[in-house]
């Protein structure tokens, strides 16, 4: 999630005024995406997008030193470059979310392509590298149409957005910190990225929020408490993605796709 879409920001404000359901603070006619935890407690969630990267190890060290758990929304193509980081993240007690396989925008993708080539393909790769397939999905750039969201939710996935973008991908880390320091909501979901600036930013964010009485939680903790564990839902034994993969290996014919 490197570029925040202005229209999406305006949409999130509009959604805020529309009513709520049990899990979600924002919604249209029904709750559909998680922007913020619905809680009276001073909870906050740290989410880190676009990894793993060369900086993920340093980020993990910062989190370990401060005894904070986070949600890492990884990209499949980046896992291919740093497969060992999946186990390191999980062994640190952190949670891994699905940020798609390619980090391509869902805007022009079919529902079938999103489901098979992005969501299921990511979970297959995650499992292959020792991770647990997840129901936590953050679309690239935070963008998904209502139809796409409905399609994934019907299949048991939680669509996760954020309530505060630190813009660590764009601005000096000091400016990102100021955004957090001005933030006073309960149940906030903070968006950071697996980059060098986050290595400097994270300790300051943790210090600031801790001094203001916030408790760091993960999305999985919250969802489990609500009766919605974050593990990926059961799926068809032979998905279209798996059939495509077998076709590429020559195991099945084109007519069987």
Query: Cα separation of 115 and 102, whole Å?
Result: 13
Pairing outcome for strands 188-193 and 215-216: unpaired
Extended beta strands in 25-154, E state:
33-34, 43-51, 71-74, 95-98, 136-137
Pairing outcome for strands 43-51 and 215-216: parallel
Classify residue 52 by its DSSP letter.
-
Could you list the active site residues? 49, 193
CB 111 within 8 A of CB 86: no
CB 205 within 8 A of CB 46: yes
Q: Angle at the Cα of 103 (from 12 to 34), degrees rounded to 5? A: 30
Residue 249 in tokens: 């290996």
Q: Angle at the Cα of 34 (from 128 to 20), degrees rounded to 5? A: 150
Extended beta strands in the chain, E state:
33-34, 43-51, 71-74, 95-98, 136-137, 158-160, 164-165, 188-193, 215-216
List the end-to-end C-alpha distance of the chain, in Å, as a whole number. Answer: 32
Phi first, then psi, for residue 140 (nearest 5°) are -55, 135
């Amino acid at each position: 999630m490197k570029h925040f879409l202005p229209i999406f920001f305006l949409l999130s404000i509009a959604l805020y005024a529309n009513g709520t359901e049990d899990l979600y603070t924002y919604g249209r006619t029904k709750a559909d995406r998680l922007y913020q935890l619905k809680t009276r407690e001073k909870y906050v969630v740290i989410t880190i997008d676009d990894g793993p990267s060369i900086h993920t190890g340093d980020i993990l060290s910062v989190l370990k030193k401060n005894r904070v758990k986070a949600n890492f929304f990884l990209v499949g193509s980046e896992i291919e470059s740093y497969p060992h980081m999946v186990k390191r993240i999980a062994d640190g007690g952190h949670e891994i979310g699905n940020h798609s396989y390619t980090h391509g925008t869902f805007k022009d993708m079919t529902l079938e392509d999103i489901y098979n080539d992005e969501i299921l393909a990511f979970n297959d790769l995650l499992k292959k590298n020792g991770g647990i397939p997840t129901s936590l999905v953050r679309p690239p750039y935070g963008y998904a149409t209502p139809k796409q969201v409905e399609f994934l939710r019907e299949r048991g996935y939680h669509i996760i957005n954020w309530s505060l973008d630190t813009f660590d991908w764009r601005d000096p880390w000091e400016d990102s910190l100021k955004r957090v320091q001005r933030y006073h909501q309960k149940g906030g979901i903070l968006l950071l990225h697996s980059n060098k600036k986050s290595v400097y930013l994270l300790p300051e964010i943790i210090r600031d929020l801790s001094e203001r009485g916030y408790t760091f939680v993960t999305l999985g903790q919250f969802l489990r408490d609500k009766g919605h564990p974050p593990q990926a839902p059961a799926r068809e034994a032979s998905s279209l993605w798996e059939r495509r993969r077998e076709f590429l290996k020559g195991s099945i014919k084109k007519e069987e796709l």
